[in-house]
Amino acid sequence: MTHNESMTIAPILEVKSISKFFGSVIALHDVSMFVRPGEVTCLLGDNGAGKSTLIKTLAGVHKPTEGEYFFEGKPVDFNSPRDALEHGIATVYQDLAMIPLMSIWRNFFLGSEPTKGVPPLRRFDVSHAKQVTREEMAKMGIDIRNPDQPVGTLSGGERQSVAIARAVYFGAKVLILDEPTAALGVKQAGVVLRYILQAKQRGIGVIFITHNPHHAYPVGDHFVILRRGTIYGDYAKADVPLEQLVSMMAGGADLEALSHELASASRTDTGRAAEELAEAAQAYHATAVEAAEGATQDE
């Protein structure tokens, strides 16, 4: 899909001038953003920027203090996460709601068990549940050898994938992922990024929260940057090279500032330790820029 084509698709979810106050704390102020079906909207920002508060507001956990919320073009006012889920807004939190000792298939169907027969003969259809779990995971490219395996034996990335596959199977139209790659190594993060693309290809509007522009850039269609509770910018991928995204993220700019600060400290009396720190910060910054360039070439 080209950028121009995507411009004509109506948003599935949109908020206009949303604010959220917790007593005197202004967690969000005048935030407007949209999510289109079949696109990945990346939500970026530093610690405390308001990312989790924003998605909790979208997911029905918080009610906005001010502003408007539209889903499929109609104004909505969710009273609970279940309310949002019933509209097709599924959220995968980083601390996944899964039971480690329970099998993969049971976790997959947790709270939505498929039944067979009519009451009073209705019973949980185990073989169907196992088959669906295996099939749905296969669609996401994961080969589950044994659906009876406890979910706790899966890797972090695979567990995230079970949660994503589950949301997709139960008809999510919008899938919200709060830092799904934060605790993962490079390879597992790659696995989760692939499922994000799969969900996108199935026409789901994905909201992907991350601190890491290198995770966001390869999968994102547009990038919403939050700073101190307000929107700093919303950039279509075509309009923002990765390097710019990296430097707009607080991390990039701060690291550069930090390396200068440490370098000047080492010129005074702080000595060798500060110099080493400065070098490390510089090297880290250079690696980030290099990785950014690498990722752009990979596309």
Ligand X SMILES: Nc1ncnc2c1ncn2[C@@H]1O[C@H](COP(=O)(O)OP(=O)(O)OP(=O)(O)O)[C@@H](O)[C@H]1O
In the chain, the amino acid numbered 77 is: D
Measured from the CB atom, is 44 or 144 closer to ligand X? 44
134-137: long-range pairs with CB below 8 Å, 24+: 134/105, 136/108, 136/165, 136/166, 136/168, 136/169, 137/104, 137/161, 137/162, 137/165
Beta-ladder partners of 227:
230
Nearest distance, CB of residue 148 and ligand X, angstroms? 35
- Tell which positions 162-201 bind ligand X, by CB under 6 A: none
Q: Which of 2, 4, 8, 47 binds ligand X (CB under 6 A)?
A: 47
Q: Report the Cα–Cα distance between both ends of the chain, in Å, rounded.
A: 15
When binding is defined by CB under 5 A, the residue of 41, 52, 91, 133 that contacts Mg ion is: 52
Beta carbon of residue 47, minimum distance to Mg ion (angstroms, whole number): 8
Selected range binding ligand X among 31-39, 50-58, 152-160, 190-198, rule: CB under 6 A: 50-58
**Which one of 45, 88, 147, 180 is in contact with ligand X (CB under 6 A)?**
45
Which among 34, 174, 177, 188 is positioned nearest to 96, based on CA atoms? 177
- Cis bond upstream, residue 11 (ω within 30): no
Among 11, 35, 53, 59, binds ligand X (CB under 6 A): 53
**Residue 186 binds which entry of ligand X, Mg ion, none, with Cβ cut-offs from 5 to 8 Å by kind?**
none
Among 33, 49, 172, 177, binds ligand X (CB under 6 A): 49
d(CA 181, CA 163): 13
- The span from the CA of 104 to the CA of 51, in Å, is 30
Residues 91-120 contacting ligand X, CB under 6 A: none
Contacts of 52 (CB under 8 A, 6+ apart): 178, 209
52 binds ligand X (CB under 6 A): yes
CB 175 within 8 A of CB 90: yes
Least distance between ligand X and beta carbon 103 (Å): 31
Q: Is 48 in the site for ligand X (CB under 6 A)?
A: yes
Residues 292/283, Cβ–Cβ less than 8 Å: no
Residues 4-43 that bind ligand X (CB under 6 A): 22, 25, 27
When the beta carbons of 53 and 181 are compared against ligand X, the nearer one is: 53
Footprint on this chain of Mg ion (rule: CB under 5 A): 51-52
Footprint on this chain of ligand X (rule: CB under 6 A): 22, 25, 27, 45, 47-53
